[in-house]
Structure 1
């Protein structure tokens, strides 16, 4: 088990490029919960959960809150315990980020990041362990590594579709790109799901992706109005890893 594999797997699911379909109504809302099993080669190494939390506010601005958790399985905990949490706040229509937090706990390594966006100044401020580390000019509508996934899910997909969006981790701001290759049937613990196969451009990704020759990253989204990410597959220097959807809970009926 290599350092950051669990977090890399979760970020692979989140680091997506979002097309410009800001006017479309999101196919999700508070109460939605997606549960994944994380595999490193053929080993069940961890689990991840993505949730849309109850709507809230950020400095008086109505906000949508997304939360992700990743953890190693009990047998992996014995020699390398991982407990990572990410939270992202956007405006209610999910057109730009307001705030992003990451609490990373991997073995003896611990790090807390707080990324704050000032839309009036088109700036972001990145705090690490309580200390301001980076200030960065940002495009008008930029997403953090988590909220960009949910922005993407607003788009109606079709074969040969290409798209891009501004994404930032607070240290650098890049334009992510992706391509819809086509439709496939994906086997999951929930049954066979018809899904769009989406290839991600990984040239801007760091860590294990940057160090890997011929690295690749593919995500499958259900070919229905929900556009659920049902599977992620990647090839990196330390082997193959994947995420597979094992459970899905729809949004509360009383929410948007």
Structure 2
């Protein structure tokens, strides 16, 4: 008790601006709930998609998922095709991994070749120290930078989140929230389970559940509106993804899949 005053911060007097326009209350980040024990992650899975922009097939994308012990490793690729490649070539590679028991992501890396821009970045999560570290390299300019920020005890990333969400019950009318590491911040994403729909894709016709992720900030908010259609069964395979952006709508439809 004698030393309590040493731990008490000195609060400066508020300015007129602070009194008239008080800062918003601190944002409460939800806890990342572990995947339900009843859900079975695939041992190995390959999902291939055709990506359409307006009336054109603009790209092809692939998810490769492989389970190693309690770690689910995900590799995603996206490559432009046809005339789009001549206008603006894109070759993107993404990798992430998460623990199937806790849902916690261990990190997220990407290599992007978009037009003349070529970037490689690695984001790692150090939960014991409560921090995330990003190392980003500009492979054209030969420069690099490193950034560090705090994180809560457990987060997911933008790639792992697709499959983390699929592990949960998707009940129409019910929402759930989780923390997402995004651009050196931790944002709260709300998954709105909107409706059941029949969806036709090149891989077949599926009964699905439509889910919309929303957030108050970060990549989920800044990339327009996004919807994901998961199969309405125990597997919750993402068979369609649609993003409504300021320059148009792109839709990824399942082309083929292989699950073990």
TM-score, normalised on structure 2? 0.79
Residue 165 of structure 1, CA deviation: 0.7
Q: 1:232–1:242: 8 Å Cα contact kept in structure 2? A: yes
2:97 maps to 89
Higher relative contact order (CA closer than 8 Å, sequence separation 6+):
1
Q: 1:210 aligns with which of 203, 219, 222?
A: 222
Q: 5+ residue gaps in structure 2?
A: 1-29, 138-142
Aligned length: 226
Question: Which residue in the other structure is 1:64 paired with?
Answer: 72
1:180 is the counterpart of 2:193? yes
Higher deviation after alignment, 43-52 or 17-26: 17-26
Report whether the alignment pairs 1:52 with 2:65: yes
What does 1:152-231 align with in structure 2 at a 5 Å threshold? 152-206=165-219, 210=222, 215-231=224-240
Q: Structure 1 residues 120, 66: closer, same or farther in 2, change over 3 A? A: same
Which SS does the other structure have where 2:83 is aligned?
helix
| 2:50 is the alignment partner of 1:37 | yes
Q: Which structure's CA Rg is the greater one?
A: 2
Displacement, 1:149? 1.3
Q: 1:45 aligns to what SS in structure 2?
A: strand
1:235 and 2:229 correspond: no
User: In the TM superposition, what are the counterparts of 1:68-83 in structure 2 within 5 Å?
Assistant: 68-83=76-91
How far did residue 150 of structure 1 move? 1.5
Q: Are 2:139 and 1:139 aligned?
A: no
**1:65 Cα deviation after fit:** 1.2
Residues 250, 113 of structure 1: alpha-carbon distance in 2 compared, 3 angstrom cutoff: same
Cα distance in 2 between the residues matched to 1:119 and 1:25: 26
Hey, what does 2:5 align to over in structure 1? none
Listed as ranges, the gaps of 5+ residues in structure 1 are 1-16, 57-61, 252-256
CA distance, structure 1, for counterparts of residue 32 and residue 172 of structure 2: 14
Question: Residues 240 and 23 (structure 1 numbering): CA distance in 2 closer, same or farther, change over 3 Å?
Answer: closer
